Amino acid sequence: MIEPGSTIGIFGSGQLGRMLAIEARKMGFRVACFSPASDTPTGQIADVEIVSPYEDLEVVRRFADSVDVVTFEFENIPAHTIEVASNHSKVHPNGDILYITQNRLREKTFLFGSGFPVAPFYQVVTREDLEKAIGKTGYPCVLKTAGFGYDGKGQTKIRSKADIGPALEKGGGRECILESFIDFEKEVSVVCGRDEKGNFENYGVMENDHMNHILDVTFAPAEVPHAVWEEAIEIARGIAEKFGYVGTMCVEFFLTKKKDLLVNEIAPRPHNSGHLTFDAAYTSQFEQQLRAVCGMPLGPTGLLKPAAMANILGDLWSDGEPVWRNALSMGAKLHLYGKSEPRPGRKMGHLTAMADTVGKAVEIVRSARESLIGKLIH
Ligand code: AMP
């Protein structure tokens, strides 16, 4: 086991690394992060902030040598960087998992090939590929770039023949994946942790509302039939097993109107839909990542109360600094990530609320967020 007092190395430097670093600090670990940026959300909490391109392998070697274990808060780290790091330190989760989940086509191919349920998908590079694939999916369908996509980036809905040209243009000649458009009832996710011995813990099923393809509100426990709940957990467990996963992982699903689950995406790291565990679970998803990658026993994952989380995006700054006092007076917990530039669509922080029912928690967190723009109310 990697003991408290040791150093955790984190590739990436955003809010996920920040919350991991906070948990690591709480338990007496030291933290070093690595990314091309400075004064980052993670770097502000870490003992050491290495500022370097991921491709500078000499710096990668020195970083890996200086820490006791390496993990990630961002999956788009070049595969070669991870390989080099793994020659100098323990790396969890392993590079193969990152390589698969970095690319939607590899990810869906892995899932389909392993027998997990996914929406029908096809590889597309040329116009001919696209027309052929649409012949199979029909309209509407969604074209996504295979690499480097998140929060709906590089994604176009195709409703009719007229949308084909613009969609291809947006794809920019890159490898893409065409998926059937799923008219889902809701989106849910399972955040879970797995250790080297194969122990598995999960936070149950959480329900996610998106706005403009970006997660907006998550609440837990999700309102789904018992059988759906059990199946979602079993799929997440199956994926973690298949990967030999070590760390915190999230599986995002569509729940169709016929109550079928389809896996949309795997995040090989803590996930935005698990942020409510930071306040509302016995062990947060970040502490679980720390425990798993250090070979410590996994922590219990029960929720202290039904909970809801609302993201705070940069858009909230359009009329000046949000009125933090309002949200704080309504019983919500405020998390801000230390980012200085509030750009539209940028995740700046989140609010969490707990209550006796999920409905009440959602009501508190939504009204707390609304109260941020407007007059001082207390
Ligand atoms: P992604 O970047 O693939 O996670 O997509 C972001 C969001 O876009 C998802 O959470 C869904 O709300 C929506 N979306 C993505 N793919 C599909 C699909 N095949 N059918 C319907 N909605 C989708």
Render 30-47 in DSSP notation, one character per residue. EEEEEES-SS-TTTTTSS
Q: What is the value of pTM for the model shown?
A: 0.96
Instruction: Map residue 297 onto helix, strand or coil.
Output: coil
Query: Residue 98 and residue 85: Cα distance in Å, rounded?
Result: 13
Out of 141, 159, 213, give the residue to mutate to test ligand 1, the one with the largest number of ligand atoms within 8 Å of its CB.
213
Kindly list the distances between the CA atom of residue 372 and the CA atoms of 258, 291, 318, 352, in Å, as whole numbers in the listed order: 38, 35, 11, 14
Same fold, 7-91 and 120-180: no
Domain assignments of the chain as residue spans, ordered by start = 7-91, 120-180, 184-370
Show pLDDT as tens, one digit a residue, over the chain (378 residues): 999 999 999 999 999 999 999 999 999 999 999 999 999 999 999 999 999 999 999 999 999 999 999 999 998 899 899 999 999 999 999 999 999 999 999 999 999 999 999 999 999 999 999 999 999 999 999 999 998 766 666 789 999 999 999 998 888 788 999 999 999 999 999 999 999 999 999 999 999 999 988 999 999 999 999 999 999 999 999 999 999 999 999 999 999 999 999 999 999 999 999 999 999 999 999 999 999 999 999 999 999 999 999 999 999 999 899 999 999 999 999 999 999 999 999 999 999 999 999 999 999 999 999 999 976 665
- The pick from 121, 153, 155 for probing ligand 1's pocket by mutation, whose C-beta has the most ligand atoms within 8 angstroms, reads 155
CATH of domain 184-370: 3.30.470.20
DSSP 80-125: HHHHHHHTTSEESS-HHHHHHHTBHHHHHHHHHHTT-----EEEE-
For ligand 1, is residue 152 a contact (CB within 6 Å)? yes
The CATH architecture annotation of domain 120-180 reads 2-Layer Sandwich (3.30)
- Topology classification of domain 7-91: Rossmann fold (3.40.50)
- Cβ of 158 below 6 Å from ligand 1: no
